Amino acid sequence: MTELITTGPEIEAALTERRPVVALESTLITHGLPFPENLRCARNAQDQIRLQGATPATIAVIDGQIRIGLEDAELERISQDNSASKLSRHDLATACARGLTGGTTVAATMICARKAGIAVFATGGIGGVHRGWNSTLDISADLQELARTQVTVVCSGAKSLLDLPATIEMLETLGVPVVGFGTDELPAFFSAQSGISLHQFVDNLTEAAD
């Protein structure tokens, strides 16, 4: 798989010098927001990471190549590409083999980040267990990936339209630690409150890093 991964020079330098790098997903750009809001959001996320002293690495698949750290021209391209695919774990191999372009979900971004040697990934909200799951078995691949891939995901919980109690139960079943930062309640994507208490939480960055 390594021959299918291209790491941008800025990311390569930061990793070589052991400086902090934060991965970012790209389905927000390709499927989450309309143009030009998606492009503004992607640039703003990168800017905020830089302000905190880290190097942002937006990840996507472009023409069958996994790109770790998109250039601005590539951000512009995928932000306006209506044919871009939405790529999770089960789509990655096919997308690379067929030379497709697509945004990477939480699951796919974790895989690519891990392969590139990036340990931290920031996103808005993870996928989870969908409402009515007992009749559809609609459960995001993100949850399995959180259990199998060693990447720390920093997020504002799972998307609020999901079955949040079932999602937190599934994460517990899979052995995924869910740790609140500055809160003892599971965030609900764009809301700080979900009514679901967290058993593990930390109050400062030192505790979180440990």
Q: Which of 3, 17, 159, 169 is catalytic?
A: 159
User: Can you tell me the distance from the alpha carbon of 81 to that of 73, in angstroms, rounded to the nearest whole number?
Assistant: 12
Q: Which of 10, 25, 37, 86 is catalytic?
A: 25
Q: Which of 207, 37, 20, 32 is nearest to 121 (CA)?
A: 20
User: Can you tell me the distance from the alpha carbon of 185 to that of 94, in angstroms, rounded to the nearest whole number?
Assistant: 39
Identify whether 115 is a catalytic site residue: no
SS (H, E, C) 111-172: HHHHHHCCCEEECCCECCECCCHHHHCCECHHHHHHHHCCCEEECCEECCCCCHHHHHHHHH
User: Can you tell me the distance from the alpha carbon of 129 to that of 141, in angstroms, rounded to the nearest whole number?
Assistant: 10
**Catalytic sites, residue numbers:** 25, 159
